[in-house]
Structure 1
């Protein structure tokens, strides 16, 4: 059998081929051999045309789907600063650069250092733009950046041929630096300067730093170097001495909250101020981290709805700050069962044990700072700052210092423990036991005098939840009768007793919401102010019974009570201020300085009179 089909003797494009021969061909092989398609019938042609057009038409949902699938620009990139004025929290650096560019004293190398997210890479690009600033009105290095600069778009996009950006973390070798050194000899192609931006410069090897030294010391006039690093200590001193260094500061929480609020407003979203404060606190001074967290928070609510603080707290895995302050108060008061129950409640709501320990560390720090500088130094909301300030006022600095050290050790244990929650509970037991223990000086004095140690869970009975050892156990074995605490004889003494027992929350509630009507030892009747806790009477009665050993009847059904302790304090302050303002000397000063305001009024302690020191020389003369 021949391999050649007798029906295919002529080429398919032969016009003289018989018609019968074309009809005998297999219709499925026409296209394979290049034969022209058979003309369809008119009706079939219309149908094929419709079939050919139908797939080409996009479905009704295709265009919206493409719109929804457009690439979303995250807030950290969308709101990246475009000018030096947009840099928040870096006023000192901007002021220095402005003066340097104005006087023409521009360094040949800059070193930008700071934590992640404060704007090192952004500042480097802005510097590159400022060095090559060129517009219709500006043709010199200038920090007056506009959106119509000749080189701005390419530099900000990282695509300018005269601005080389290199990540030193992935180009650590000397060969990468050698490429820079070879190209630095040549003049720029378009821009005024060739700018070399090296990010994470501390990652360079020792050989790469050594190769860079000579060029960095004597660079060509057309070359500028900008380095950025988060680990300034790892950069050799020989490199640092050849650079103008700028330390980009962490952005203060207040400034970051305002910035995040503006960004949320531009995005058409609403978010609580407390939620913004939580985000700023979690960002730890990093603008980029703050914007990333804000990006995550804004999707927690529908458009038009307000993002609540509780939602952000759950998103960040944070515990309620009010609850952790209550936990800190219970720990410092030595109420171990209550402290454990509070922690288990927080843990049940999803609080991270490591974060709870960090919060306790922050509360200890805030109480210490408030003790020295006042509540405003804590940078916390007013009610929280007042609680921690009151707690710091009744706890010695030595105790707060010991608690800080114990919490630091507890934090390390919680991070390494197989079950972090168990580690936190053991730390709470240890802290509650040691909160009231005397310091080394008091312990030595008690040992010397044969006195029992004051405070501590051992003296509080079973509620302390702990046992002693060592010297405290020896002293406890001595038959020393504990002195009975006298009953408070006035409402003011009740408040003072609460303060001595470090019940800061209870003390603030009593001072704020209790208007005493009648008082006698063992019974208090008061009028409750709106907003008072429901269990205030029960808690006050329970604490007084625990401290005095007798039952107290606390009734909150009185009417016509007097002023609360806070109202009394405010009235005294107002009277004192009025007396000071009425003083003739103060009036004369206020009139001499128009617009002056009377600030805080403080009572200066009376000077201490030292005893006279006898004149030894005079005594010798008399002899």
Structure 2
């Protein structure tokens, strides 16, 4: 086959370790093991599609059998052994697709064939692709040979689903996890290939290819091939044209749509969405991109432009950053829940396009939620639209419960008394009171969370504002709200703040303890003890509250 007639994924397939991108550690480890003559019985390559598992397997086969040795591995003018391995025609290097040969009989034939030494090479090598497709019996038949093969026999396995391979097989292999290719590295790679193919494609269009390929080299080359074939002679492929070819839409349209949702401009919102729909964008793709945008709005201050994997350009990144400062986190959380529930909803609606429009209208009704009072109105709005029904689906129930968690409006079951006698009510006027009542009521879990994982920002009547660390229990807000209502007979609002807040109770205790220890270390009595016992260490200090001298 003429090399120019090959698809790019085959034409530019790496032939040596130096050609591999993004797998430098794997290449170096294998090269060192061959040089040191510590070659494992079997290699196991795992990772997502299109990152070089089968390609690396062939390169390893070349490295083991190259006529020039590992130090002078063929790079341009291939020896007979390397050439035949590249063309999958080497008599001693057998490639087998486990997807089509899954049975125990196929493995038995393989084992029988392995009894004979190599004909022309140093090693006889079996490359088994998609090895996870082998049957349980086939794996069992392979075990003994895999553990103690003849010195001339080596196995190389490749798989995308490592969990489907028995642990007894994995333990007999030297495993290598091939990583996704970094976006910046993949961009430079396809840019070089574009230049070699004399293609005219803008950097923004190439970045879109990188984003869609999700770290897969093969996917990116297939998309690049498609882009180059769609070009008219002398024309350059820009981002807009690439979006039409690959079925993606301009993210700036989605940002404009999001801004209009917040302003409540229904006509313009629906108009923009219909333009996006007319571009051929599937409803599920739209919702997933919308969820991705919500993530950026929520976390933009902790992200860099590079960490968005080219999903955003400079202008879009700056616009999201400016808008995010005007949006409350509660609004974004509510938007996320509604969008997630719509993913399930569109599967049961005959016209998915209408379902997305209704989602956008619902979001506009929520977009004005910027205070606790308004958040409470959200639940009223949900009730008015019959979201909460006795016959509601499990998914809708979960979504509404999560919205209640944000609004702090958990319902009390009918059989539970909603009135608490005045003499049984507890007054909680400070954060310390709350911790004390948790201790008295033996709510140890709540007490632990309050002391260890919560930073108080503000404590007011029936309202607590906190920040928290990543260890906070996911049911903390719901459980605390329920107990506060039970103890005080009143509803409390618990909100999360972007402010850091006070030091947690446990951290305060540690700080006080450290100060006491430091003070004690400055005393003459401590210094005299250290002089006599140099290895002594001060671990704790107990203050003498009664003022009694125990010396």
TM-score normalized by the length of structure 2? 0.67
The answer for the alignment partner of 1:330 in structure 2 is: 260
CA distance in 1 between counterparts of 2:546 and 2:66 reads 82
CA distance in 2 between counterparts of 1:81 and 1:372 reads 37
Kept in 2, the 8 Å contact 1:111–1:227? The answer is yes
The answer for the alignment partner of 2:34 in structure 1 is: 101
Kept in 1, the 8 Å contact 2:305–2:313? The answer is no
| 1:263-302 to 2 correspondences below 5 Å | 263-302=193-232
Query: Any idea what SS the aligned residue of 2:44 has?
Result: strand
The answer for the alignment partner of 2:144 in structure 1 is: 214
Could you tell me how far 1:154 is from its partner in structure 2?
A: 0.7
Distance change >3 Å, CA 200–CA 126, structure 1 → 2:
same
CA distance in 2 between counterparts of 1:397 and 1:157 reads 57
Kept in 1, the 8 Å contact 2:181–2:217? The answer is yes
The answer for the alignment partner of 1:347 in structure 2 is: 277
| 1:402-421 to 2 correspondences below 5 Å | 402-415=334-347, 417-421=349-353
The answer for the alignment partner of 1:76 in structure 2 is: 9
Q: 2:43 aligns with which of 110, 115, 135?
A: 110
Higher RCO, 1 vs 2 (CA within 8 Å, ≥6 residues apart):
2
Kept in 1, the 8 Å contact 2:247–2:279? The answer is no
The answer for the alignment partner of 1:593 in structure 2 is: none
The answer for the alignment partner of 1:40 in structure 2 is: none
Kept in 1, the 8 Å contact 2:65–2:121? The answer is yes
Query: Any idea what SS the aligned residue of 1:269 has?
Result: coil
Query: Any idea what SS the aligned residue of 1:246 has?
Result: strand
| 1:141-160 to 2 correspondences below 5 Å | 145-160=75-90
Kept in 1, the 8 Å contact 2:41–2:147? The answer is no
Query: Any idea what SS the aligned residue of 2:125 has?
Result: strand
Distance change >3 Å, CA 395–CA 91, structure 1 → 2:
farther
The answer for the alignment partner of 1:127 in structure 2 is: 60
Could you tell me how far 1:281 is from its partner in structure 2?
A: 1.1
The answer for the alignment partner of 2:468 in structure 1 is: none
The answer for the alignment partner of 1:391 in structure 2 is: 323
Distance change >3 Å, CA 130–CA 467, structure 1 → 2:
same
The answer for the alignment partner of 1:201 in structure 2 is: 131
| Structure 1 gaps, min length 5 | 1-66, 475-604
Is residue 2:543 matched to residue 1:617?
A: yes
Kept in 2, the 8 Å contact 1:334–1:457? The answer is no
Query: Any idea what SS the aligned residue of 1:271 has?
Result: coil
Deviations 1:549-607 (A, max 9, x none): xxxxxxxxxxxxxxxxxxxxxxxxxxxxxxxxxxxxxxxxxxxxxxxxxxxxxxxx999
The answer for the alignment partner of 2:462 in structure 1 is: none
The answer for the alignment partner of 1:381 in structure 2 is: 313
| 1:449-468 to 2 correspondences below 5 Å | 453=375
CA distance in 2 between counterparts of 1:376 and 1:168 reads 39
Could you tell me how far 1:388 is from its partner in structure 2?
A: 2.3
Kept in 2, the 8 Å contact 1:112–1:227? The answer is yes
Kept in 1, the 8 Å contact 2:44–2:176? The answer is yes
Could you tell me how far 1:454 is from its partner in structure 2?
A: 7.1
Query: Any idea what SS the aligned residue of 2:144 has?
Result: helix
CA distance in 1 between counterparts of 2:285 and 2:146 reads 45
Kept in 2, the 8 Å contact 1:133–1:145? The answer is no
Distance change >3 Å, CA 469–CA 291, structure 1 → 2:
closer
Query: Any idea what SS the aligned residue of 2:120 has?
Result: coil
TM-score normalized by the length of structure 1? 0.59
How many residues get paired? 408
Kept in 1, the 8 Å contact 2:247–2:281? The answer is yes
CA distance in 2 between counterparts of 1:417 and 1:407 reads 15
Distance change >3 Å, CA 399–CA 247, structure 1 → 2:
farther
Distance change >3 Å, CA 78–CA 273, structure 1 → 2:
same
Could you tell me how far 1:469 is from its partner in structure 2?
A: 7.9
Q: CA RMSD in A?
A: 3.5
CA distance in 1 between counterparts of 2:124 and 2:172 reads 18
The answer for the alignment partner of 2:118 in structure 1 is: 188
Q: 1:86 aligns with which of 12, 15, 19?
A: 19
Using the TM superposition, name which of 409-418 and 237-246 deviates more: 409-418
Could you tell me how far 1:434 is from its partner in structure 2?
A: 3.6
Distance change >3 Å, CA 330–CA 376, structure 1 → 2:
farther
CA distance in 1 between counterparts of 2:113 and 2:387 reads 73
| 1:182-581 to 2 correspondences below 5 Å | 182-379=112-309, 380-397=312-329, 399-415=331-347, 417-437=349-369, 453=375
Could you tell me how far 1:328 is from its partner in structure 2?
A: 2.6
CA distance in 1 between counterparts of 2:348 and 2:67 reads 56
Deviations 1:88-146 (A, max 9, x none): 111221222232223222211111111111111111111111111113xx3x5876655
Asked which structure has the greater CA Rg, the reply is 1
CA distance in 2 between counterparts of 1:620 and 1:337 reads 74
Kept in 1, the 8 Å contact 2:201–2:236? The answer is yes
Deviations 1:372-398 (A, max 9, x none): 345553243111112223333444445
The answer for the alignment partner of 2:492 in structure 1 is: none
Distance change >3 Å, CA 126–CA 319, structure 1 → 2:
same
Could you tell me how far 1:318 is from its partner in structure 2?
A: 1.1
The answer for the alignment partner of 1:3 in structure 2 is: none
Query: Any idea what SS the aligned residue of 1:342 has?
Result: helix
Using the TM superposition, name which of 341-350 and 318-327 deviates more: 341-350
Kept in 2, the 8 Å contact 1:318–1:352? The answer is no
Distance change >3 Å, CA 265–CA 70, structure 1 → 2:
closer
| Structure 2 gaps, min length 5 | 389-403, 410-499, 517-541
| 1:170-189 to 2 correspondences below 5 Å | 170-189=100-119
Kept in 2, the 8 Å contact 1:132–1:141? The answer is no
Distance change >3 Å, CA 347–CA 322, structure 1 → 2:
same
